[in-house]
Copies of this chain bind each other. A is one copy, B any other.
């Protein structure tokens, strides 16, 4: 499969950038994600799907708590994306300097963001290197402005961050290549 042949369409299938937050066993954490989708046609029962990579600390926390919040960031929050997206919360508290509160599930809601959804997991699918979480949106709000996309962020951020990003992704690619076909729980083909 030659990725160049489909790259322009694949890049349109990522969501705006969100901080995915979670609270578990007395700790709060957040990571950055762009693989989020709408998952309900019923307006008063909104749902989302969110993909979280298994090596991320947030994956462990969401698996434990069964809840997370999505905080979609604004174009002026590049530093926040850098802070939350480029290192792991296993070793440090990434939210020390970030003001937040809690809503329904107890997951951290960043005070400053374009929109937030407070979510409770209702099902999950093993993707090998990642898990797809299906979740009810229990509370949420959208503020003025617009969400930041990765395409937009690339044009705004310091070039050094791109190098830093490529270095980080290099290690993640290696892990994904090794694990994406090793799903423990497979609902396909359907049990008969």
Q: Which residues of B contact A147 (CB under 8 A)?
A: 9, 12
Looking at the complex, which one of B1, B16, B139 makes contact with A46 (CB distance below 8 Å)?
B1
The closest CB in chain B to the CB of A149 belongs to B12
Cβ contact within 8 Å between A13 and B1: no
Q: Pick from B6, B72, B190: contact of A9, CB below 8 A.
A: B72
Q: A1 and B36 in contact (CB under 8 A), knowing A122-B183, A142-B9?
A: no
Q: Is A158 an interface residue (CB 8 A)?
A: no
Count how many chain A residues have C-beta atoms less than 8 Å from C-beta atoms of the other chain. 70
Shortest distance between the CB of A157 and any CB in chain B (Å): 19
How does the 8 Å CB contact mask read for A1-31 relative to B, with 1 for contact and 0 for none?
1010111111111111000000000000000
**Between-chain CB contacts (< 8 Å), 11 pairs:** A1-B138, A1-B140, A3-B44, A3-B46, A5-B140, A6-B140, A6-B141, A6-B142, A41-B176, A122-B181, A125-B132
- Which positions in A face B, CB cutoff 8 Å? 1, 3, 5-16, 35-49, 51, 53, 63, 66, 72, 114-115, 117, 121-127, 129-130, 132-134, 137-142, 147, 169, 172-173, 176-177, 180-181, 183, 185-190
